[in-house]
Amino acid sequence: MSAPASADPTAAIQAKFSAVTPRPSLDHPALDVPASDLLAVLQTLRDEHGFDMLVDVTAVDWAEGANPRFTAVFHLYSTTGHAYVRVAAACIGGDDAPSVPSATGLWPAADWHERETYDMFGIRFEGHPDLRRILMWEGYPYHPLRKEFPLAGIETELPDPEVAAETNAKVKPAPMAGGPFVASSGEMNLTEAEPRAKDESWNEASEKPGA
């Protein structure tokens, strides 16, 4: 049984894991953890500090040229102490094969969370029992939440050749529908006005410029 949750476990975790550092955060306690210590830190937070629920697994793409480029992020919650903690681990490996250890051995719910992160970012979770796409189809050639992936998407052949032949259709980029929305600091009071949209509002009735 896990211990009661610490409001902020940062100091205790740092005392036990010398390579862990505090991560800047505007909301909850957060830690930067080497990939080699990730599972041990997550287990310590669960068993010794009461963070018994894995809420989410996601990632950050710092863009091409960054080193490391990708950071995997785990959000934990204590169902008894009602506190959150964020754990971030820089991925090892290059852009083509970033990876961190899988947390499925600690939380079975990590299974689908990690599959989604793999699908969207291309991050491999080593030790995952069934790491395959969960939103896009197997064989889809892109990872849609990477920085180089265009906001509107990329035209792609349908995965089923029989459907493609019958419908004569492809997976087409989505209309921007008034986005992306942009607002620079000081341009407006965001509590009184919505951000302005770039002039990219193309749709079925109004073709994309240059298409």
Residue 1 sits at the vertex; the CA angle it makes with 48 and 126, to the nearest 5 degrees, is 65
**pLDDT at position 34:** 98
> In this structure, which topology does domain 1-135 adopt according to CATH?
Beta Polymerase; domain 2 (3.30.460)
| Mean pLDDT per 10-residue section of the chain, whose length is 211 residues | 68 96 94 98 97 97 93 96 96 94 98 98 98 92 92 78 75 56 50 47 57 53
Q: Under 8 Å CB-to-CB from 186, ≥6 apart: which residues?
A: none
**pLDDT at position 194:** 47
> The pTM is what?
0.79
How far apart are alpha carbons 4 and 80 in whole angstroms? 7
Q: What is the pLDDT of residues 178-189, one digit of tens each?
A: 444 444 555 555
| One-letter identity of residue 15 | A
